[in-house]
Amino acid sequence: MTAHTQTAHAHEEARGRLRDRYLLPADARPASTARGLHHAALVSSDVERTVRFYQELLGFPLVELIENRDYPGSTHFFFDIGHGNLLAFFDFPGLDVGPYLEVFGGLHHIAISMDPDRWGEIRDRLDAAGVEVAEHSEVSLYFPGPDGERLELIADPLGEMYGSQILPADH
């Protein structure tokens, strides 16, 4: 057995222990205490470029644009990503904010569910706009946003993951 195979096997064993200890069967899980994701907030280096990307290219309508109450001169703006969920951004003019870095506790990617027909349409728009897209499992598109944020558009319905129902259908 190679070192890589041994490591992969050890990781799978660790996931198995976690599943056995914490992943309850659907009928035994308590209801969540949350109502849903109100918004996730990211940092934008250019408000107009971000609005063009998310509204014009991806089709997420801009629904609010206000001053950030925590930093005068900063803009806080929100896009509708469906089902009452919002994707928000801040800009921080005058601050030396660096490029995206993957760090512990940091953002890896945001996955947004999309109807398969719209998914294909947006894939074509991204391609026409020259955005580098990686397609996986015939339902996932991974690509960078205007500031390097990692995005995934997934053609699976909410509550499903690659064809498996992970939340009850009535959720």
Give residue limits of the domains in the chain.
36-165
Conformational region of residue 4, where left means phi above 0, alpha means psi within -120 to 50, and beta covers everything else: alpha
Tell me the HSE value of 14 on the side-chain side, using a 13 A CA sphere: 6
What is the helix (H) or strand (E) element at residue 134, kind and residue range? strand 134-136
**What confidence category does residue 81 fall into, taking pLDDT thresholds of 50, 70 and 90?**
very high
75 near 68, Cβ under 8 Å?
A: yes
26: nearest Cα among 171, 166, 156? 166
| 25 has pLDDT over 80 | yes
| 85 has pLDDT over 70 | yes
Q: What span, in angstroms and rounded, lies between the C-alpha atoms of 46 and 69?
A: 18
Instruction: Write down the architecture of domain 36-165 according to CATH.
Output: Roll (3.10)
Q: What is the pLDDT of residues 128-164, one digit of tens each?
A: 999 999 999 999 999 999 999 999 999 998 888 888 8
Q: What span, in angstroms and rounded, lies between the C-alpha atoms of 55 and 76?
A: 15
44 phi/psi in degrees, rounded to 5: -115, 140
Q: What is the pLDDT of residues 28-54, one digit of tens each?
A: 999 888 777 888 999 999 999 999 999
| 96 has pLDDT over 90 | no
Q: What is the pLDDT of residue 170?
A: 65
